[in-house]
Every structure is written in structure tokens, then in C-alpha cells.
Amino acid sequence: MILELIKADITTIKADAIVNAANSSLLGGGGVDGAIHRKGGKAILDACVAIRNKQGQCKTGNAVITTAGNLPAKYVIHTVGPVWNGESEKNENLLAACYHNSLMLAVENEVKVIAFPNISTGIYHFPKHKAADIAITTVNHFADKEKIEKVIFVCFDDENYNLYLQKLGI
């Protein structure tokens, strides 16, 4: 499994799947979620509504998969990151679950190339250095790693990009 780092808008990435930092409603929000729904179009929202009608809200740490609508990716994997509230261990485990469950869904759907944004580090205020450690560690320890060809960490802000540069040793 190759790890790649780029600074970009994730809606422009042509991967098999891009991951959305969604909220539990699955009905869209601000930040990367807003960008994905805006650019991906109504097909993504329709698919999210169908999932909600079937299973209700998406719990923190869980993930669901939909079409990517008009985006260049094939799928969007929506995962709900924890809102940072200072309960370190609980929040850290939930963030790790987001990466783990997204990768599990990727494998189930034969996704070979997956792009992650920096989940929870925007509106949800997860400390960026901790979040980067969790993202990299969880991806590196994923049991079915050989089934994924490439994981792209997509950073949007300089602070996250520089943290990942350091932590990935690039």
C-alpha cells in the first residue's frame, strides 16, 4: 500500500473513493462535506437520504458508502468524526474507527485508491497533530492493507500539510 500526501481540494481527486467528513445526519454540512455535496450534486444527497431511511443516522466512528455523483471519484465514503471535547481517549478511538471503518468499506467495494481528508480537524476542532498521528497509524495498521493500492492524505490547509510532511517523513 502506497501512502501519498497532497494539498488539494478533495472534490478534484480522481480516486476510486474519496472520504467525506460527514455529520451524523448525513444530510450535508459545512467544510469538506459542503464542498462534496455542492460539487457532487443531488445524486449524493439522494443516496444519503435512502441510507438514512433504511438505517437512521450514522453513528460517530461509522461509515457508509454512496455514489460520487458528478465528482471524478467513483464513490464517496461518508464517515462521522468525533467532535473534540477533551475526552482524549474516547475521541481518539472514535477517530481511529472512522479511518478503520472507511477502509473496511473500501475493501468490501473493491476500492483500490482511497483519498482521506483530515477528518474532524475543521469545525470539529480535533487537535491536528493528534489527528494526523491517528490517521497515519490506523492506515498503517490496517489488517487488509494489501487489498488497497494507495491511500492519499488530502490536506487543505498548510498546518495539516506540514504536519503530515513531518510525520510521513517526506
- Look at residue 73 and give its three-state secondary structure: coil
Task: Please list the residues that pair with 54 across neighbouring strands.
Answer: none
Q: Which of 59, 140, 157, 166 forms a contact with ligand ADP (CB under 6 A)? A: 157
Q: Please report which helix (H) or strand (E) contains residue 105, including its range.
A: helix 88-108
Residue 123 in contact with ligand ADP, rule: CB under 6 A: yes
The 10 Å Cβ neighbour count of residue 96 is 18
Residue 10 in contact with ligand ADP, rule: CB under 6 A: yes
Of 9, 33, 144, 158, the active-site residue reads 33
Q: Which is nearer to ligand ADP, 125 or 145 (CB)?
A: 125
The amino acid sitting at 50 is A
Q: Which is nearer to ligand ADP, 126 or 142 (CB)?
A: 126
**Residue span binding ligand ADP (CB under 6 A) among the ranges 46-54, 57-65, 100-108, 112-120:** 112-120
Please give, one letter per residue, the 3-state secondary structure of 109-164: CCCCEEEECCCCCCCCCCCHHHHHHHHHHHHHCCCCHHHCCEEEEEECCHHHHHHH
Smallest distance from ligand ADP to CB 13, Å: 8
Number of residues that bind ligand ADP (CB under 6 A): 22
Residue 102 in contact with ligand ADP, rule: CB under 6 A: no
The amino acid sitting at 23 is N
Side-chain-facing half-sphere of 20: CA atoms under 13 Å: 35
Residues in contact with ligand ADP, shown as a per-residue x/- string from 12 to 41 under the rule CB under 6 A: ---------x--------xxxx-x------
Q: Which is nearer to ligand ADP, 15 or 119 (CB)?
A: 119
d(Cα 47, Cα 144) in Å, to the nearest integer?
27
Positions 80 through 99 that interact with ligand ADP (CB under 6 A): 81
Q: Please report which helix (H) or strand (E) contains residue 122, including its range.
A: none
| Chain residues that interact with ligand ADP, rule: CB under 6 A | 9-11, 21, 30-33, 35, 81, 117-124, 154, 156-157, 160
| Active site members | 33
